[in-house]
Amino acid sequence: MAECHPVGFQWVMEARQRGTKVFHIDPRFSRTSASVDRYLPIRAGSDIVLLGALINYVLSNGLDFREYVLAYTNAATLVNREFRDTEDLDGLFSGYDEETGRYDPSTWAYEGDRPEEEELTEGGLHHAEAAGSDSYGARGAGSSATPPSDPTLTDPRCVYQILKRHYSRYTPEMVEELCGIPPERFRELAEAVTANSGRERTTAWVYSVGWTQHSVGVQYIRAASILQLLLGNMGRPGGGIMALRGHASIQGSTDIPTLFNLLPGYIAMPHAHRHDGLDDYLEREGSDTGWWGNRRAYVVSLLKAWWGDAATEENDYRFDYLPRLTGDHGHYSTVMGQIDGKVKGYFVVGENPAVGSANGKAQRLGLANLDWLVVRDLVTVETATFWKDAPEIETGELRTEEIGTEVFFMPAATHVEKEGTFTNTQRLLQWREKALDPPEDCRSDLWFYYHLGKRIRRRLGDDDIDRPVMELTWDYPEIGEQRDPSAEAVLREINGADADGRPLASLRELKPDGSTSCGCWIYCGVYADGVNQAARRKPHTEQGPVALEWGWAWPANRRILYNRASADPEGRPWSERKKYVYWDAGQGRWVGPDVPDFEEDKAPGYVPPEGAKAQHALAGTDPFIMQSDGKGWLYVPSGLSDGPLPTHYEPHESAVRNTLYGQQSNPARRTIDRPENPYNPALSPRFPYVFTTSRLTEHHTTGAMSRPLPYLAELQPEAFCEVSREMAEELGLENGGWATIVTARTAIELRVLVTGRVRPLRINRRTVHQVIMPYHWGYGGGGVITGDVVNDLASVVLDPNVYIQESKAGTCDVLPGRRPRGQALLDLIERYRHG
């Protein structure tokens, strides 16, 4: 956090000064480790063992926050009789198909949930083909908001007992064996976490891509969720799981998504072969109970925002105009489609996949096989210059004169040269003013897409195929000489309006009948009263600590999600110390310093009438209002493609045997078995070292925004790897010298930093060395400094839920000295693959 979010880290430092105990768990001893109470080194790729052992510690010592767990989680819910755990099947859950490598999740369902035939495949095969939206937290249509349960938590089929059994072998000894963390250190952590949870205290977890970029990435986060729910740390001040997402507006880019499988507000993108019309789509995408029960209002309002008057009830509000999925259109399948000649054109905006994505060679081979490529960036990043300076030019795998890709480089405006919002990781929208016009041809992304859209429309006619674009509402005021569209007008459209064009104040006003429009239902209210709420900057000295008048947080300006859980089932604060949102019987409403994440007047004693829908189907004691049963899910009965409970699997390329199960790696992981993407065999003596990639404060991602700046470049001028003294001695690596890092993909050269901060770990009674590599360098990028591309080493193997690549844990070999050049480099790799 100190490395990647130093400005946010100031609050951790302040918390420490106020007595908060801070642990840092990381393969690398970073600047964060230097600034906390206790640093725990861990082997990359073993975190579920640690988290599972913490869960086991809580359960086997009866340390869970029982009242919270019983009332607010699905601990008591009964699971299908046919369900078999990894304890029964040596690392597999029931429903696994060896042939396809996929799960049929029907046996994971709650008792009594009877998904239809098609729904069965939805959670498994189809789901795995097209990653699901958040509405999958819904268990499909027709499921009850009150599934059968055993409040005594003794039934062996209740979630609590399944959980207990699932993690029973995740012991401190196993943590030592697989993570390399000694039992006394584990105990210290476990005691601190449990002592600082409960009525009076809360514990928070903070993670970043070190947890997500794994073939079990989603399950890492799930494991933390289980722990936090068991300890009562969700929906309460000082609790939660904080994702330190990328900078600027990465959160915004999933809210109003750049992801292939989502529409704004985490609404599922319709599927070509699954959804016939709006009604059919709405019926299948989510359940009727819980907040997603309102999805018709959100989808119809979105369609009204996009197609305005052209969207009517008679024509399904132009639902047929939406693009359709036909399968996995994620980043890596797109790249493979390029190599295969199926993808002809490519927009790359503020990204640098030639350096930033796993298996850089595959990325560049894809780029070289396009008809056209548009790159929008501040500098000519490697993705725009691959045709002349990619490593494959040097090896002869690509020849400039043979690359037919037409590259359009469009210079982009910087953040001070355009107005708009950033949405940060706590869902806070903050408005940014434009300080000056961008120079020369540089333009904002908003300008680019708006004017591109206008030009395209000028070329289209009234053919049916042109209508979705021609009928789009595409009429924003243009400002100044450069005719930049008004970002405030766009924000107004996102906020939404009623039939008379008046801005909506809240998402509760959204209607399913086409009388409201809204570009993103969770952002509804950001322009309440016609005022740009995101532009509010009332200093903290003039308001309370929750600071509701600084910017605007989605949804409804709530700062802590699920904050109904900050009060006990009767609506009383769990403790005076942790008082937050609670029921005021006198006023008949929920009160507190934050906006309640609950219907303001729904009493704690509310019991839903038979047949109630949406939020009305949830009781006054159900804080997790997006879920179809209103409960926090310790166990996930549907929506995941690799199991209902996080399970430790070794990375696809691992130097270590999985001693917990016969199953070595995530059985549902996605591999891409192609010549461009060869894998290191697991447990291969040719690749004995563990590598992980990392970041440095001095640089930003692929270095496109930092390497061209001398003041930053001089602070970390060369690509390097960090190795332990022991490993340096073993291999003859010299501090300040060179090392060549080899995987089945390629070899790169890095300067060597020998440091006592990296320690060899004892794993399974043998020594495991880890190589730590910051990935900020590339071969060009308009930078004053260059270096080999670390991500060229990584393979493309994907988490089956969200298709993120496993770039945080892999294996490699390390040789002292610089790498060979040209053909000799290819020969070296060939020897490693087949030698």
Partner 1 sequence: MAERMGFFTDTTVCIGCKACEVACKEWNDVPDDGFVFRATSYDNTGSLGASTWRHVAFVEQDGRWLMMSDVCKHCTHAACLDVCPTGALFRTEFDTVVVQSDVCNGCGYCVPACPYGVIDRREDDGRAWKCTLCYDRLRGGMEPACAKACPTKSIQFGPLDELRERAQERVERLHAEGVTDARLYGESPDNGVGGTGAFFLLLDEPETYGLPPDPVVTTRDLPAMWRWAGGAALALAVGVAACFAGRKP
Instruction: State in Å, rounded, how far the first CA of the chain is from the last one.
Output: 41
CB–CB of 129/668 below 8 Å?
no
Name the residue nearer to partner 1 (CB basis): 10 or 326.
10
Least separation in angstroms between residue 414's CB and partner 1 is: 15
Q: Closest separation between CB of residue 783 and partner 1, Å?
A: 10
Within 8 A by CB and 6+ apart from 49, the residues are 170, 174, 175, 178, 179, 648, 660
Strands (E), 453-601: 478-479, 484-485, 552-553, 582-584, 589-591
What stretches of 427-550 show up as alpha helix (H) in DSSP? 445-459, 467-470, 487-495
CB of 3 to partner 1, least distance (A): 8
Instruction: For the CB of residue 185, give the shortest distance to partner 1 in the complex, in Å.
Output: 12
C-alpha angle with apex 444: 439 to 450, nearest 5 degrees? 130
- Kindly report the CA angle at 688 between 651 and 396, in degrees rounded to 5? 90
Shortest distance in whole angstroms from residue 65 CB to partner 1: 30
Question: Given the complex with partner 1, which of 101 and 246 has the nearer CB atom?
Answer: 246
Question: Which residue, among 159, 163, 121, has the nearest Cα to 140 in the 3D structure?
Answer: 121
Angle between helices 217-230 and 47-60 in degrees, nearest 10? 20
Distances from the Cα of 699 to the Cαs of 216, 348, 711, 771, 782, in angstroms? 27, 21, 11, 19, 14
Toward partner 1, which CB reaches closer, 39 or 96?
39
669/699 with CB nearer partner 1: 699
CB of 545 to partner 1, least distance (A): 19
Separation of CA 730 from chain center: 38
Q: Give every CB contact of residue 166 below 8 A, 6+ residues apart in sequence.
A: 85, 86, 87, 645, 647
Helices 360-367 and 331-339 sit at what angle, rounded to 10 degrees?
50
What is the C-alpha separation between 806 and 374, in angstroms, rounded? 27
* 255 vs 698 by CB, closer to partner 1: 698
Give 164 or 751: the residue with its C-beta nearer to partner 1. Answer: 751
**Where does this chain bind partner 1 (CB under 8 A)?**
2, 6-7, 9-10, 13, 17, 29, 31-35, 696-698, 710-718, 720, 735-736, 751-757, 784-785
Sheet with 552-553, edge to edge strand ranges: 420-423, 428-432, 552-553
Spell out where 231-292 has E strands.
241-243, 262-263, 267-268
Nearer to partner 1, 186 or 321 (CB): 186
Quote the least distance from Cβ 6 to partner 1, whole Å: 4
The torsion defined by the Cα of 803, 809, 813 and 817, in degrees rounded to 10, comes to: 100
Cross-strand bridge partners of residue 431: 421
Per the DSSP assignment, residues forming a β-bridge with 815 are 740
CA distance 771 to 760: 10
> Least separation, in Å, of the C-beta of 349 and partner 1?
27
Instruction: Between 659 and 755, name the residue whose CB sits nearer to partner 1.
Output: 755
State which residue, 138 or 752, has the beta carbon closest to partner 1. Answer: 752
* CA 177, chain centre distance (Å): 29
3 state DSSP class of 752: strand
The three-state secondary structure class of 592 is coil
Shortest distance in whole angstroms from residue 312 CB to partner 1? 53
The encoded tokens of residue 437 equal 């016009």
CB burial of residue 665 (10 Å; 0-12, 13-18, 19+)? buried
Q: How many whole angstroms separate alpha carbon 32 and alpha carbon 789? A: 25
Instruction: Considering the complex, state which of residue 40 and residue 138 has its C-beta at the smaller distance from partner 1.
Output: 40
Q: How far is the CB of 38 from partner 1 (least distance, A)?
A: 10
Query: Residues 313, 279: contact at Cβ < 8 Å?
Result: no
By beta-carbon proximity to partner 1, the closer residue of 144 and 697 is 697
Between CA 345 and CA 405 the distance in angstroms is 9
- Of 515, 508, 526, 528, the C-alpha closest to 304 is 515
- Beta carbon of residue 24, minimum distance to partner 1 (angstroms, whole number): 12
Rounded Cα–Cα distance for residues 334 and 672 (Å): 12
Count Cα neighbours of 636 within 13 Å in the Cβ-side half-sphere: 23
282 neighbors 140 (Cβ within 8 angstroms) = no
Shortest separation between residue 191's beta carbon and partner 1, angstroms: 19
User: Which residue, 228 or 702, has its beta carbon nearer to partner 1?
Assistant: 702
Select 9 or 207, whichever has its Cβ closest to partner 1. Answer: 9
- What residues does 749 pair with on adjacent strands? 740
Give whichever of 568 and 698 is closer to partner 1, judged by the CB atom. Answer: 698
Least CB distance from residue 723 to partner 1, whole Å? 12
Nearer to partner 1, 2 or 505 (CB): 2
Give the nearest distance from C-beta 32 to partner 1 in angstroms.
8
Distance of alpha carbon 700 from alpha carbon 716, whole angstroms: 11
Residue 157 in contact with residue 79, Cβ under 8 Å? yes
**Tokens matching residue 679:** 């894998």
Asked whether the beta carbons of 533 and 526 are under 8 A apart, the reply is yes
**Residue 627 Cβ, how far from partner 1 at the closest point, in Å?**
37
CB of 342 to partner 1, least distance (A): 42
Least distance between partner 1 and beta carbon 784 (Å): 7
**Cβ proximity to partner 1, 2 vs 42, nearer residue:** 2
Nearer Cβ to partner 1, position 181 or 645? 181
Q: How many Å apart are CA 624 and CA 145, to the nearest integer?
A: 12
CA dihedral for 232, 235, 239, 245, sign (positive or negative): positive
> Which CB sits closer to partner 1, 389 or 718?
718
Beta carbon of residue 713, minimum distance to partner 1 (angstroms, whole number)? 6
